[in-house]
Amino acid sequence: MATNQDTDLQGLTTTDSSEGVKTQEMLLNLGPQHPSTHGVLRLIMTLEGETITGCTPVIGYLHRGLEKILENRTIMAGIRYMDNSDYLSPMLNETAYVGAVEQLMGMEPPRRAQYIRLLTNELQRIASHLVGIGTYGMDLGASTPILWAFRDREGILSLFEALGGSRFNVNYMRVGGVLHDFPKDWLKECETFLDTLEKNMKEMDALLSGNEIFMSRTQGVGYIDPQQALAYGLTGPMLRASGVNWDLRVNRPYMAYREVPVNTYVRQEGDCYARYYVRLQEITESIRLCRVAIDKMPGGAISTRTPIALRPPRGESYFAVESSKGELGVYLISDGSEYPWRAKLRGPSFINLQIVPELMRGHKMSDAIAILGSTDIVLGEVDR
């Protein structure tokens, strides 16, 4: 949120060319209410003609003090607030939070619960990537992908509704397991949906990936080299699109990922198109993982018995899951009471947004939206 309009204005330079034409840098304000910012993000850009010379993101419009809220709620009540962090992938947020608590308590959920978590996490990843791809197409002027993507996402939300009773804020994960077992025929429906989705994703690939306008607007735009990507702490598809093979599901496997191997897709180009394509391929991989989870779904309990007044021992733990946007970490400190002493969320969107000014510098104005859309940020997680 912090910005000083005066210093921003003072930074503008005026140049007189030899022909007597006076040019001045222009200040352009984008947002906070703008369809292509995917939330309440404000970008203050300095333009020289059509070229962006500087960009200052102003965030905090959606700040709800989530970390303070979590400190003031019991751990059980806090799980629900994790849904609001990255509101496109609530299942993943909850997994990170309960994972941190379980790690602190030194407990392991039953195998069935781990596989249910894997299945729901991968479905959520598909849903999040579908939104990312669909809205990215819309940002660049293609109006069909968003309709197709939201149609497919609807299937996942319906599955979640049958599973947890809610479409978005599912509140499904529990410390030591999950809330409900599958309803009757849920897995069969899920398999049917995955078949449809796989067919639809092939159509999406044919529609968007080879589209000449889409390619020319994204290829070679917003290049990040691997060293820069690591230095800026990028994770998730943004890092893998820059040629760094880093995925927490593979490199620091947790829960059922220790048993289910994950294939990562890496692109070397590091441009907007690569980031889009990595997301598209990850949907295919997630479909495969869902099928594996359904095939290997073990029987048994879905949850271990945990006390109602959950008091983790004194101590600290940092637990991170591979969210759809990158590393979603929770740093939890407990003082031995029902309330966490400190719960820090490491949101991938927050850090992935940091590189945007670097990417935009030197590009044309029309590329700004292409670059911003390719980062696939969620402002709920940026501002927390």
Partner 1 sequence: MDLVPRSKNIPSATTGYRDQNAALARDLAPIAQITGTPVVTQLQKGDYLGFEVAREHLVAVCRFLRDQLGFDLLSSNSGVDMLDHLESVYHIRSTTRNQLLQLKVRLSSESPEVDSVVSVWPTANWFERETYDMYGIRFSGHPDLRRMLLDDDFEGHPLLKNFHQVPLTVKPRATTQIDPNMAVSGQYQQQNMERVVQKKLGQGQQERLHPGTPTFGHANEAAQRDANVHESTESGQSTRDKNATTDEKA
**Which residues are at the interface with partner 1 (CB under 8 A)?**
1-4, 59-60, 63, 65, 67-68, 71-72, 103-104, 106, 230-233, 235, 244-246, 250-253, 258, 261-268, 277, 281, 315-320, 327, 329, 331, 333, 341-342, 344, 346, 350-351, 354, 383-384
| Residue 185 neighbours by CB distance under 10 Å | 10
Q: Between the CA of residue 147 and those of 135, 282, 376, 377, what are the distances in Å?
A: 9, 20, 18, 20
| Residue 132 neighbours by CB distance under 10 Å | 27
Q: Between the CA of residue 105 and those of 96, 118, 300, what are the distances in Å?
A: 14, 21, 22
CA–CA separation, 340 and 67 (whole Å): 10
Q: Are 271 and 216 in contact (CB under 8 A)?
A: no
| Residues 6 or more apart in contact with residue 293 via CB below 8 angstroms | 115, 118, 119, 122, 256, 260
User: Could you identify the residue written with the tokens 């670059």?
Assistant: 371
User: C-beta of 175: minimal distance to partner 1 in Å?
Assistant: 15
Q: Which two tokens stand for residue 54?
A: 């500087």
| Residues 6 or more apart in contact with residue 183 via CB below 8 angstroms | 162, 163
Q: Are 117 and 99 in contact (CB under 8 A)?
A: no
User: C-beta of 292: minimal distance to partner 1 in Å?
Assistant: 13
Give strand pairing partners of 235: none
Nearer to partner 1, 139 or 322 (CB): 322
User: C-beta of 248: minimal distance to partner 1 in Å?
Assistant: 9
Q: Are 53 and 47 in contact (CB under 8 A)?
A: yes
Nearer to partner 1, 163 or 287 (CB): 287
Nearer to partner 1, 160 or 265 (CB): 265
Sign of CA dihedral 69, 71, 77, 82: positive
User: C-beta of 192: minimal distance to partner 1 in Å?
Assistant: 27
User: C-beta of 320: minimal distance to partner 1 in Å?
Assistant: 7
User: C-beta of 361: minimal distance to partner 1 in Å?
Assistant: 14
What letter does residue 44 receive in the DSSP assignment?
Answer: E
User: C-beta of 315: minimal distance to partner 1 in Å?
Assistant: 6
Nearer to partner 1, 144 or 284 (CB): 284
User: C-beta of 2: minimal distance to partner 1 in Å?
Assistant: 4
The end-to-end CA distance of the chain, in Å, is 13
User: C-beta of 124: minimal distance to partner 1 in Å?
Assistant: 22
Nearer to partner 1, 155 or 312 (CB): 312
Q: Which two tokens stand for residue 202?
A: 């092939």
Backbone angles phi, psi at 283, to 5 degrees: -65, -45
Backbone angles phi, psi at 277, to 5 degrees: -75, -35
Give strand pairing partners of 36: none
Nearer to partner 1, 104 or 131 (CB): 104
Nearer to partner 1, 87 or 168 (CB): 87
CA–CA separation, 23 and 117 (whole Å): 58
Nearer to partner 1, 52 or 330 (CB): 330
Nearer to partner 1, 181 or 198 (CB): 198
User: C-beta of 3: minimal distance to partner 1 in Å?
Assistant: 8
CA–CA separation, 159 and 167 (whole Å): 8
Nearer to partner 1, 159 or 235 (CB): 235
